[in-house]
Amino acid sequence: MSTLAEQRTAALNTPAQRIRKPFPLRQLVAYLILGIGSVFLVAPFVWILQAAFGETSKAFVIPPLWLPVNPSLDNFVSAFEQVPFHLFTWNTLKIAVAVTAGQLITCSLAAYAFARLQFRGKNVLFFLLLSSLMIPSQVTLVPTFIIMRQLGLYNTHASLILPALISPFGVFLLRQYFLTIPAELEDAARVDGASVFTIYWRIILPLSGPVLTTLAILTFVAQWNSYIGPLIYINKIELQVITVGLTLMRGRFGEGALGPIAAGLFMAVVPVLIVFLLLQRYIIKSVVTTGIKT
Amino acid sequence: MQAVPTAAPAASYNILKRREAMIAYLFIAPTLIGFLVFVVGPMLIGIGISFYKWNLLTPPVFVGLDNYTRLFSGDPRLGTIYGTTVRLALLVITCNVGLGLFFAILLDRKMPDLLRNFFRLSYFFPFVVSGAAVAIIWTFLFNKDLGPLNYYLRLLGVSERINWLLSSTWSPVAIIITDVWKNVGFYVLVFLGGLQGISRDYYEAAEVDGATGWQQFRSITLPLLTPTILFLLVISVIGALQIFDQPNILTQGGPGDATRTIVMYIYEQGFKFFDMGYASTLALSLFVIILILTIIQFRLSRRWVFYQ
């Protein structure tokens, strides 16, 4: 026997539950449409995989193939024969790691100062830094090139690394996080005679793992994928990076064969794919909350 | 007696404060130097160069407002290029926002975790792949004779073999498809975040009042999503006006100027024709346009954005 109260809640719950319970046909239609979307987004990758691992002559045929024919690594071998792909990969990795490490240092130092220290001009400087987020990087393309050329850095990796070592966005992201760390932790250390740098290094950084990871991922992926910078600053094939390298393989008029290019695409995408699968929660969260476009 | 103990801490407090400020300047120094050299410097130099004619080989020649006269009245290609840029941007934003919202609503329902994760991953993955790689993949997919896209369109009853990359009608469509393919997952996830932020109470109240699904969407979901929509519009206007990678790789701006965007034109003037002055002037015009559009969006947003 149920009590009156239980009966009343049951009566209240029933209609709402009936409406909220998913109508199966509707659910099926939703799955179907989502599935079509997924196929459209995933199919090109499957096709590239087929082309990378299959026989070169069968990579690009009508009707299209979806599984590799006579799987082998031949396409990878010819990718390395056509272009110095190992150098492209090494250059890309070197630049991305240098920029990521640099940004973690410069951004966290500045962010700590803006979050916790008192100094004259703090608010003005922070506002200036933030307002520069409105300046699209493409707008300063030409003058930055001229500065690099005057500094003798044309055709060096420094021209790609130096401008990317700082990031107003990174400073902002880290500052917002540092502000949420309780100040009592630092006060205790200060009473014990810890220096500002010790507090930053021993207390703040160890507590900021998630946000530092977020910044590292965003920076690394953005650098790994960058295209217009290397296109402008690098004019020697042995200094080139993967993105431009792939366009060189394809050729000016798309005359390159698909097989080796697909092998190159595979090698270009796999590191990002690994980072993405390992840290997908971080990536999705950070991209959604910060609105960064890679 | 009392003056001594209070004066000493005050003095040492001042010293401490000064020390703290010194350390703070050291902490921000790397960022500040980089900011001056690579952001403020280039902005000012860009404005300066816009008054010169300079091909990097011979010394710059002061030409006054010549580059600006050319910008406003002496460049027949510029109107077409800005037209293409704006048209592409509008279509790309509309498709991404529309499809993003559509798929997010479909995803925002009870379903097995495995399925939800599969959908989330498959929608989002193209977004982390470089624009250059995406464009190269699509060059092959769009191939007129051997491309899978035309093959499957034919199976669906499209008898004409579309010349995706070489026809002035279809090449902008190809750019839009490529952009949406790469970016729509980002919009889906941001909208999904927005949808999940809407309290269920509103829907329960609406159900008690007998509101239909469409009515709930019109009067609850859409108004409460307006902050998300504003955020997406602001960043996608800034992004879409700077499209470069895809058209540069897929169509090289052609045929003619059918897919040439303003950033491609800046790149071309600066690094192919080595007209640094005019390239800087073009870049400044883009900057001003983006600035004005962003301000307008924030101003107008007061009329249509609701906060919970």
Q: Which of A72, A100, A128 finishes a domain?
A: A72
Least Cα separation, residue B122 to chain A (angstroms) = 6
pLDDT at A254: 67
Residue of A109, A247, A283 lying closest to B249 (CB–CB): A247
Q: Inform me whether the C-beta atom of residue A65 falls under 8 Å from chain B C-beta atoms.
A: no
Q: Which of A50, A72, A94 finishes a domain?
A: A72
Assess whether A122 and A197 both reside in one domain: yes
Assess whether A154 and A286 both reside in one domain: yes
pLDDT at B42: 92
Q: What is the DSSP string of chain B?
A: --HHHHHHHHHHHHHHHHHHHHHHHHHHHHHHHHHIIIIIHHHHHHHHHTTEE--SSSPPEE-TTHHHHIIIII-HHHHHHHHHHHHHHHHHHHHHHHHHHHHHHHHSS---HHHHHHHHHHHHHHHHS-HHHHHHHHHHHT-TTT-HHHHHHHHTT--S---TTT-TTHHHHHHHHHHHHHHHHHHHHHHHHHHHTS-HHHHHHHHHTT--HHHHIIIIIHHHHHHHHHHHHHHHHHHHTT--HHHHHHTTT-STTTT--HHHHHHHHHHTS--HHHHHHHHHHHHHHHHHHHHHHHHHHHHH----
Assess whether A44 and A108 both reside in one domain: no
> Which of B16, B140, B266 would best serve as a mutation to test chain A binding (most A beta carbons within 10 A)?
B140
Q: Where are the domains of chain B?
A: 3-49, 69-304
**Does the model's ipTM exceed the 0.85 cut?**
no
Which positions in chain A touch B42 (Cβ < 8 Å)?
140, 143-144, 147
Q: How many structural domains comprise chain A?
A: 2
pTM, to two decimals: 0.85
Assess whether A48 and A112 both reside in one domain: no
Residue of A226, A227, A284 lying closest to B124 (CB–CB): A284
CATH 1.10.3720.10 fits B69-304, yes or no: yes
pLDDT at B14: 83
Confidence bin at A287 (pLDDT 50/70/90)? low
Q: What is the pLDDT of residues A196-251, one digit of tens each?
A: 899 999 989 998 888 898 888 889 988 999 999 999 999 999 999 999 999 988 87
Assess whether A26 and A161 both reside in one domain: no
pLDDT at A223: 92
pLDDT at A95: 96
pLDDT for residue B152 is more than 50? yes
Assess whether A101 and A60 both reside in one domain: no
Look at B290 and A284 and tell me if their CB atoms are within 8 Å: no
pLDDT at A136: 76
- A5-19, A167-181, A254-268: least confident range: A5-19
Mean pLDDT of B44-48: 92
Assess whether A98 and A61 both reside in one domain: no
Mean pLDDT of A172-177: 88
Mean pLDDT of A81-86: 89
Q: What is the pLDDT of residues B172-192, one digit of tens each?
A: 999 999 999 999 998 998 898
Assess whether A90 and A221 both reside in one domain: yes
Which positions in chain B touch A112 (Cβ < 8 Å)?
27
Assess whether A56 and A89 both reside in one domain: no
DSSP A135: S
CATH number, residue A207: 1.10.3720.10
Mean pLDDT of B224-242: 87
The beta-carbon contacts of B82-90 under 8 Å, at least 24 apart in sequence, are B82/B262, B84/B172, B84/B257, B84/B258, B84/B259, B84/B260, B84/B261, B85/B241, B85/B243, B85/B261, B85/B262, B86/B241, B87/B172, B88/B172, B88/B175, B88/B176, B88/B240, B88/B243, B88/B259, B88/B261, B89/B237, B89/B240, B89/B241, B89/B243
A24: domain range? 4-72
Q: Inform me whether the C-beta atom of residue A290 falls under 8 Å from chain B C-beta atoms.
A: no
Six-digit token pair at B251? 């169509």
Q: What is the pLDDT of residues B4-41, one digit of tens each?
A: 455 556 677 788 888 888 999 999 999 999 999 999 99
Q: Inform me whether the C-beta atom of residue A125 falls under 8 Å from chain B C-beta atoms.
A: yes
Assess whether A95 and A38 both reside in one domain: no
Residue A168 contacts residue B35 (beta carbons within 8 Å): yes
Residue B37 contacts residue A147 (beta carbons within 8 Å): yes
d(CA A153, CA B258): 35
Q: What is the pLDDT of residues A66-79, one digit of tens each?
A: 888 888 888 899 88
pLDDT at A14: 45
pLDDT at B270: 92
pLDDT at A275: 81
Nearest chain A residue to B239, by CA: A293
Give the CA angle between residues B35, B37, B38 to the nearest 5°. Answer: 70
Q: Which of A54, A72, A90 finishes a domain?
A: A72
Residue of A63, A128, A246 lying closest to B133 (CB–CB): A246
pLDDT at A109: 96
Assess whether A93 and A59 both reside in one domain: no
